[in-house]
Amino acid sequence: MNKAMPFPIGAEAVPVASPSTSLRELILSKDLTFLMEAHDGLSAAIAERAGFKGLWASGLSISSALGYRDANEASWTQVVDVVERMVDSTNVPILVDGDSGFGNFNNARLVARKLKQRGAAGICLEDKAFPKLNSFVGDRHPLADIYEFSGRLKAVRDTTGPAFVLVARTEALIAGYGLDVALDRAEAFANSGADAVLIHSRKSVADEILDFAKKWNNRLPVVIVPTKYYKTPVSAYREVGISTVIWANHALRAAIAGMRDICGRIRSEESVAGIEERVADLEELFRLIGYDELEQAEKQYLPKQTA
Ligand code: SPV
Ligand code: MG
């Protein structure tokens, strides 16, 4: 992706076709694709350096990092701004969690257009009402009307054009409906311009996800989020032809655990002497944010010191 910025911080500037094309290729490829959660420029750069070919801009993680609940408390412009930092700090495509589109078809197409302008590769929209609530919180997850949500998808597709990746997520299983409702919804969304279908589950086993994938039979690529059924080996997903796995919140949860432990130790030890080896050194931080490029640029653009 050709960045307007002269320094894609945190990553080597490897030009690729376009973020949407790369994401589409990942989702359509025969291999199982893994998207790693990130929630800011730094976590995006870390995930890219770990080797992930694509990222998930998680609504849960972005809102949590901002100190909001995953209930559309963060505004869509705040989310877009975070995604822009993620785009600038990496060279891998980013699928953005667009929640339920921040309103009706009109809000959804506005958000999608802005995300495309800021360099995101695609958006995932879920068939819930606004404001949505994180799928793992409580039991009240009313679904959007199937026809109204289909209109939201069509509006996004018509606004962003064919390249921008549109993932339709059904929350039918989260809302307590069965497989048939999930399949009916997925079918309607496939007919409304979606490129892939995300089927979400809050069960601790993957049975309903695997059943969905078998019955869906690759009508469109299937994307899953194994947060609760984390023990299932990925070979099970390969067997039923699932396209993409999203590790949806693990960078944020690792950060929480790391910060909690370090804060606790510093507080009780009244010293940082014992934790130096446990934290990333500053050189790593500087590398991630691309300070080396800044040094090069200074040589090029600052006048030479004469005295
Ligand atoms: C997110 O990462 O924000 C998601 C996945 O939408 S979940 O939190 O499982 O709903
Ligand atoms: Mg979300």
Tell me how far the alpha carbon of residue 245 lies from the centroid of ligand 2, in angstroms.
14
List, for residues 141-200, the tens digit of each pLDDT value: 999 999 999 999 999 999 999 999 999 999 999 999 999 999 999 999 999 999 999 999
Same domain for 284 and 174:
no
List, for residues 47-96, the tens digit of each pLDDT value: 999 999 999 999 999 999 999 999 999 999 999 999 999 999 999 999 99
Q: How far apart are CA 136 and CA 276, in angstroms?
A: 36
Residues paired with 166 in a beta bridge: 123
Flag whether 75 is in a domain.
yes
Which residues lie with the beta carbon below 6 Å from any ligand 1 atom? 58-60, 70, 97, 134-135, 225, 227, 248-249
Cite the active site residues.
70
Flag whether 222 is in a domain.
yes
> Could you identify the atom of ligand 1 that is nearest to the CA of residue 227?
9
Same domain for 291 and 150:
no
Same domain for 261 and 233:
no
Query: Position of tokens 């018509």?
Result: 158
Tell me how far the alpha carbon of residue 248 lies from the centroid of ligand 1, in angstroms.
6
Flag whether 9 is in a domain.
no
Residue 161 CB contacts under 8 Å (≥ 6 apart), including other chains: none
Flag whether 5 is in a domain.
no
pTM of the model: 0.94
Pocket test for ligand 1, best of 62, 126, 225, 246 (most atoms within 8 A of CB): 225
Same domain for 129 and 75:
yes
Domain holding 234, by residue range, is 19-251
Same domain for 122 and 58:
yes
Flag whether 6 is in a domain.
no
Same domain for 124 and 176:
yes
Measured CA distances, 213 to 41, 166, 197, 234, 237 (Å):
33, 19, 10, 14, 9
Tell me how far the alpha carbon of residue 175 lies from the centroid of ligand 2, in angstroms.
15
Domain count, the chain: 2
The secondary structure of the chain in percent helix, strand, coil, rounded to multiples of 5, reads 45, 10, 45
User: What's the CATH number where 178 sits?
Assistant: 3.20.20.60
